[in-house]
Amino acid sequence: MNNKEYYFISIVMAVVLLSIGGCATTPEECDPRAGGFIKGVSCKLSGGYDERVKQREGTLAQLEQEKKALETAKGSLETKHTAKSQLVVEEREEVRQLGIQIETFRERLDSVTMKSKQERKNKQALLEQLTTLQTRADKLKAALSESSIDTLEYEQAKQENERLQKELNDLMAKAANIQ
């Protein structure tokens, strides 16, 4: 090979390398799955591949942080759900006990013999109030037996249970006064 040919080949290679290296490539354009050899060399020389890797690593780190945050939130929600479920179970038991108290009171009231007409009338009124109380307690029991009770429904059920318990206590006090 003579000097002219060597010189020509060197210039051609320099032009090719400069054109390859000088191509403006962004990290988004440097996808190793596309572009071919020249694009690949250009991305390597311009640092596009390295920048693409850094961007992907940053995205991965951000996604891992988001995953940890979601796992923490999930754990918190599961803890709250477990606590709420336990409260519902306890409330169901209280309502069950209320039903037993109502039935026991009804049996006791039924066994009492009233002598006067007014006493019988008072007893009948108490039995009717007790029946209404039992109906409300049954509805409350059904509401608490649903598997997907939300916080508001739970609070309403708890308040209703407290009202029913108070009303039963009031009925029992009335019954003690008429006996």
Tens-of-pLDDT digits for all 179 residues of the chain? 677 777 777 776 655 655 554 454 666 666 666 666 666 666 666 777 778 788 889 999 999 999 999 999 999 988 888 888 888 888 889 999 999 999 998 888 888 777 788 888 888 888 899 999 999 999 988 888 877 778 888 888 889 999 999 998 998 888 887 65
The pLDDT assigned to 97 comes to 92
- The tokens describing 156, both together, are 């309403």
Contact 157, 143 (CB under 8 A): yes
Other CB atoms closer than 10 Å to residue 137's CB: what's the count?
23
118 domain residue, yes or no: yes
Q: Which DSSP category does 23 fall into?
A: S
The pLDDT assigned to 112 comes to 79
Alpha carbon distances (Å) from 163 to 99, 140, 167, 169, 170: 14, 11, 6, 10, 10
- Verify that 40 and 100 share a domain, yes or no: no
- Verify that 147 and 88 share a domain, yes or no: yes
DSSP symbols for 56-75: HHHHHHHHHHHHHHHHHHHH
pTM > 0.75: no
60 domain residue, yes or no: no
Residue 17: domain span: 3-46
Total domains in the chain come to 2
137 domain residue, yes or no: yes
58 domain residue, yes or no: no
The residue behind tokens 């109030």 is: 129
14 domain residue, yes or no: yes
- Verify that 39 and 103 share a domain, yes or no: no
71 domain residue, yes or no: no
Other CB atoms closer than 10 Å to residue 1's CB: what's the count?
6
Alpha carbon distances (Å) from 93 to 5, 115, 164: 99, 38, 14
Other CB atoms closer than 10 Å to residue 85's CB: what's the count?
12
- Verify that 173 and 86 share a domain, yes or no: yes
- Verify that 169 and 92 share a domain, yes or no: yes
- Verify that 87 and 31 share a domain, yes or no: no
53 domain residue, yes or no: no
- Verify that 36 and 89 share a domain, yes or no: no
Work out the angle between the directed axes of helices 48-111 and 151-178 (0-180°, nearest 10): 10
The pLDDT assigned to 21 comes to 47
The residue behind tokens 């006791």 is: 108
